[in-house]
């Protein structure tokens, strides 16, 4: 596979379906959605699909750790055109949880503009409805979600309305953890 392949086969339909899945995941934190369309060596299909759906040539993107490769950079340049930037300048950041540390280097917005924060796309080895308990807006009672840790997400929630949002990806699946979500160890 080269940087010319790996995009949406039917861009309008695939992007609309992926956008709907990401919106559903953000509106219902902890629910796991399946997406398809993006393919690039070194990234899960879900992460590639999120990048194709939510980023473009005006979206500063940070690639962390092992994701800052020439192959991924060329794929992004061809399919998305997003400028690659330092962590503090990113609107989106991609990496494993360990790669993205410390998360305090990413934008959390400003009191007048809380929407000017980063969204972290976190590649995970496992994505399941097991682990810490989530409550808050969009969650009927509670739901569980496998998270890489809980302390950082609790600290992030304490910053509300500021804070970063998170999209967890694994294979062809994704789940979201907006800054409004309350995370509790069980």
| pLDDT at position 8 over 80 | no
| pLDDT, tens digit, 9 for 90 and up, residues 43-66 | 999 999 999 999 999 999 999 999
| pLDDT at position 2 over 60 | no
Helix and strand counts by DSSP (H, E) for the chain? 4, 11
Structure confidence at residue 4 as a pLDDT band (50, 70, 90): low
pLDDT at 1: 45
Q: How many CB atoms lie within 10 A of CB 87?
A: 18
| pLDDT at position 143 over 70 | yes
Structure confidence at residue 151 as a pLDDT band (50, 70, 90): very high
Q: How many CB atoms lie within 10 A of CB 21?
A: 23
Q: How far apart are CA 36 and CA 50, in angstroms?
A: 9
Mean pLDDT, all residues of the chain? 94
Structure confidence at residue 14 as a pLDDT band (50, 70, 90): confident
Chain length of the chain: 186
State the CATH architecture for 11-184.
Answer: 3-Layer(aba) Sandwich (3.40)
The closest alpha carbon to 87, from 112, 57, 64, 114, belongs to 64
Q: Delimit the domains of the chain by residue range.
A: 11-184
Q: What is the sign of the dihedral through the CA atoms of 101, 54, 160 and 31?
A: negative
| pLDDT, tens digit, 9 for 90 and up, residues 107-142 | 999 999 999 999 999 999 999 999 999 999 999 999
């Amino acid at each position: 596979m080269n940087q010319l392949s790996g995009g949406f086969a039917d861009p309008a339909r695939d992007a609309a379906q992926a956008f709907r899945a990401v919106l559903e995941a953000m509106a219902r934190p902890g629910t796991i959605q399946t997406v398809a369309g993006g393919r690039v060596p070194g990234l899960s299909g879900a992460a590639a699909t999120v990048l194709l759906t939510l980023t473009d040539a005006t979206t500063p993107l940070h690639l962390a750790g092992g994701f800052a490769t020439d192959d991924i950079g060329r794929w992004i340049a061809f399919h998305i055109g997003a400028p690659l930037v330092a962590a503090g300048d990113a609107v989106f950041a991609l990496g494993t949880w360990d790669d993205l540390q410390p998360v305090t280097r990413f934008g959390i917005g400003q009191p007048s503009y809380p929407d000017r924060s980063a969204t972290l796309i976190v590649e995970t080895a496992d994505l399941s409805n097991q682990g810490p308990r989530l409550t808050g807006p969009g969650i009927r009672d509670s739901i569980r979600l496998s998270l890489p840790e809980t302390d950082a997400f609790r600290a992030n929630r304490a910053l509300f309305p500021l804070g970063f949002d998170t999209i967890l990806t694994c294979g062809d699946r994704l789940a979201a953890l907006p800054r409004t979500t309350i995370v509790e160890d069980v």
